[in-house]
Amino acid sequence: MESSSEEEELANPSQYRWIAWCVVLGALVTVIVGLPQVPVLLRYHQPLGFAADKQSPGRLAQAELQRKFPNFAAVVEAPVMVLLRSRAGSVLTPEVQHFTEKLLSSMSDPRVEPLHPIALGVYAQNKMGGVHLPASLVRKKLLSSDQRTTVLVLVPTSFPTFATFQHDGYNRTVFAPWLYRKKLMEFLHELMADPPSNTQLFLTGNPVIEYERFFDRSIELLLRAELCVLPLALLIFIWLIREVRLLLLPPLVLLVSLAMSAACCVPLARSTPLSPDVPPVMVSVLLAFSLDYSLFMLSRFMENKGKAMDIEQNVEVLVCETGHTILVSGSLIAIAFFGALALPEKNLHSAGEVLGVTVACCVVVNVCLSPSLLLLFGDCLSGDGSDNGDAWQSGSERDTALLGEGHLKHKFWLRLMRWVEHRPLLAMCGVFLLFLPVTWQLPAVHGTADIYAALPDLPSVLAMRELAKDFPAGQFDPYLLVLSDTGTNSLLTEKGYKAMLQLCGILQQMGSVDSMLSPVYLLDQSVDWSTAQHWQSPQGPPELQKTYRKIMETHVNGSAVLMEVFTDFLPRGPKGALWVRQLRLGLAAWEGQHPGFTAVLCGGATLAVDAQDTVMQAVPTYLVVSILLITAVVFGIFRSLLLPLRLAFALLFTLAATFGTAVICYETSLLHGLFPSLADYDGLCYQIVPMAVCIAIALGLDYDIFLVSRIVEFRLAGFTDPSSIVFGVASTGGIISGAGAIMALAFSGLFFSPKLLHQQFALLLVTSVLLDTFVVRTILVPAMMLSAGNYNWWPRRMPQPKEIEQIVNGSFKDEEDTD
């Protein structure tokens, strides 16, 4: 590459080296300051849940429940279930009875007594609120039909807000709910350490799931997985760079990038709490982009060295060309990440901020530190480059004309591009037809509100799924309907009973309702106005009088009535979201038929549905904002309107194929034979959809800008549009494919996470990367460019064909004279 007169007047070599030593010293300080912050960042997170908008139906219903039935608001989330399953024969054995009696006698344990739990089970007293539950009812609800499984249910009834204990001779007061939950878990795990003979024990329930969720090992497992894939990434470096000594630089650059990212993100985490899912993704993003940018730098360095450039000129070209490309690419990627601030969810805000800062740190370190190290030690770490001067890495079509195609080491990409150059429309149609079955699945993509899907391998979640096999799982986690009127207590009149029974009829027609508990329904039996009056009169059956009086005390508050709805599916599982949406439509229709009456739904998957709607409805806005900003930046840099439009089209194609692949994996039965556990899920965890879209856009931008920058170099060197495209792709095809393979390896570590959320994230990212590198950037995008004809993107004047001919002929002439 020829240097302009301005470039020749830049700082002399000694000044270059002085700046390089300053950069290396700054990197050393960064490592010293930032590296101790890495474990702090990995630990500095909170088990945040995705929160719905404060005005969402679920949040408003929860506030209504808290206001009118505060006891239920606390108790509904609290049951803990101990599942006992016989290995052979009936579970009704003396050993199980002894285990139950041992549990009941331990209720005075100081770790449990403050919660005043009620125990329900086949061998328990089964007394709630002074009312004895019939033994037949208990056996029906807590004993499986084959009598091989039974459930012990513990329902805490008291929830101390604060607790005081002595430590170092002083009384300390702490927030009690987490403390008592921890003590309850310790008590139950000690109890389960001695199970009845020939019996399996499982512990589950919402408190257990939340407790186990706090001890998240995803980061530890991810780091182990990344350490395993790192050697594979280095093998790709060896294959592409062909200089083993240069492999000392990528780990060093990665270390500095990690230290800088941690130093920048820890203060950010103190003001914006991080979800436990953010640090694992951050590690993968850091590894992927740091290694990719290192590969771009080192490959260009060896290419320049193959042209017999001295070290100063080599690094100058490296900074001006590859450094500029990385800077543009990183800026666009940061825009894609920071665009998450347009999403109305604090978890996504923190994830976007942290990942944006991480990419910015990778850019800064690679643009500054990599050239500095190469300037200072490049000659020692690399050979003379004589075996790397092949045209597939060449920055000039003139070099290719001089050397001939026979000199190429990697002929595949040039031959492929020659074929695409002659058949661009055929190549485009072939790609579209090949991926049509996948992209056709895009409309079916579904974000599930299955809470358990995000934590599939937790023992308590596995136990919950086991419980659902033998029991209507909703009977342990009811949905709650709060019915209100205008304040005249008309719900407790004959008219109100008819309206509430009609609502129960709507629930029955919807299906999946196992039983209900309210003034108008006692589990399996409806209660009309006359029956209710009879049961409350002195002539009513004594036992029913007592039971119904208790229901009226607990499920009625002035003009408000509470209705518990027990489903035959997991209320927070895969069917919950669809059921909630259908019931809300039914409630709206019921309110229209009964003016003055209102009904709100809470519990189960209601809040998850609202959070899902909040996030998913914001995704189109995020896409539009990100793509518009990216388009504006690309247009400002390349002065081309066609380029950002083509870029947007390529991104949309990648997203369609990526999410279509996810639909095939998680929403069809195609892979259930190989992976039976996929049958438990009905879609993608909605939490990952925005960030997966964000990173897929970022990855597409990374490779696209790298490709386009090389095409621009060829075009500005005076070559025709088709030749610039052909040689641009031929010179970057191997690097882009290698970078994509490295990035896919970096993200594949998420497959080893115990969370389905991370596994799905890995599938989307790896699919997007491989599709981008091996199909979109190397076949589809060049075919689109070649089909567009003479598009004249570039801002600077191009040499005319006669000038190019003179240059090439002059080069040949010079070569002959030299000989």
pLDDT in tens, 27-38: 999 999 988 888
> In whole angstroms, what is the distance from residue 9 CA to residue 29 CA?
32
User: Mind listing the pLDDT tens digit for each residue in 469-498?
Assistant: 888 888 888 899 999 887 666 888 888 899
143: DSSP letter: B
Mean per-residue pLDDT, 154-177:
61
DSSP state string for 570-631: -TTSTTHHHHHHHHHHHHHHHHHHSTT-EEEEESTTHHHHHHHHHHHHHHHHHHHHHHHHHH
Whether 409 and 392 have beta carbons less than 8 Å apart is answered as: yes
Residue 617 CB neighbour total at 10 angstroms: 11
Q: Are strands 162-167 and 127-128 parallel, antiparallel or unpaired?
A: unpaired
242: DSSP letter: -
Whether 349 and 340 have beta carbons less than 8 Å apart is answered as: yes
Rounded mean pLDDT of the chain?
78
Amino acid identity, position 163: A
> In whole angstroms, what is the distance from residue 400 CA to residue 398 CA?
5
> In whole angstroms, what is the distance from residue 439 CA to residue 623 CA?
18
- The pLDDT-based confidence of 390 (bands split at 50, 70, 90) is very low
> In whole angstroms, what is the distance from residue 734 CA to residue 740 CA?
10
The β-bridge partners of 143 are 150
Mean per-residue pLDDT, 312-319:
86
What per-residue confidence (pLDDT) applies to 178? 64
What per-residue confidence (pLDDT) applies to 218? 63
Element (H, E) at 227: helix 218-241
> In whole angstroms, what is the distance from residue 719 CA to residue 790 CA?
12
Chain centroid to Cα 83, Å, comes to 31
Q: Are strands 560-567 and 199-204 parallel, antiparallel or unpaired?
A: unpaired
Dihedral angle sign, alpha carbons of residues 198, 200, 201, 205: negative
Whether 152 and 100 have beta carbons less than 8 Å apart is answered as: yes
Which pTM value belongs to this model? 0.75
What per-residue confidence (pLDDT) applies to 500? 92
What per-residue confidence (pLDDT) applies to 175? 53
Q: Which of 431, 482, 604, 592 is nearest to 60 (CA)?
A: 482
- 771 against 747, higher pLDDT: 771
Scanning the structure block, which residue is given the tokens 């939490």?
A: 687
- 653 against 694, higher pLDDT: 653
What per-residue confidence (pLDDT) applies to 795? 40
Amino acid identity, position 51: A
User: Mind listing the pLDDT tens digit for each residue in 445-475?
Assistant: 887 877 777 677 788 888 888 888 888 888 8
> In whole angstroms, what is the distance from residue 89 CA to residue 472 CA?
22
Ranges 73-77, 559-563, 661-665: which has the least confidence:
73-77
379: alpha, beta or left, given left = phi > 0 and alpha = psi -120 to 50?
A: alpha
Contacts of 501 (CB under 8 A, 6+ apart): 520, 526, 528
- Apex CA 317: angle with CA 311 and CA 319, to 5°? 100
567: its two tokens: 């489903």
> In whole angstroms, what is the distance from residue 225 CA to residue 197 CA?
39
H-only helix segments in 81-217 = 94-105, 135-142, 176-192, 206-214
Residue 343 CB neighbour total at 10 angstroms: 24
Residues listed for the chain: 819
- The pLDDT-based confidence of 50 (bands split at 50, 70, 90) is low
**Long-range contacts, 578-585 (Cβ 8 Å, 24+):** 579/510, 579/512, 579/605, 580/479, 580/604, 580/605, 580/606, 580/609, 581/609, 582/510, 583/479, 583/507, 583/510, 584/57
The β-bridge partners of 150 are 84, 143
Dihedral angle sign, alpha carbons of residues 217, 220, 222, 228: negative
- 787 against 51, higher pLDDT: 787
- The pLDDT-based confidence of 783 (bands split at 50, 70, 90) is confident
Element (H, E) at 162: strand 162-167
282: its two tokens: 């951050």
> In whole angstroms, what is the distance from residue 358 CA to residue 14 CA?
32
> In whole angstroms, what is the distance from residue 360 CA to residue 329 CA?
10
> In whole angstroms, what is the distance from residue 578 CA to residue 570 CA?
12
Residue 234 CB neighbour total at 10 angstroms: 16
> In whole angstroms, what is the distance from residue 429 CA to residue 171 CA?
75
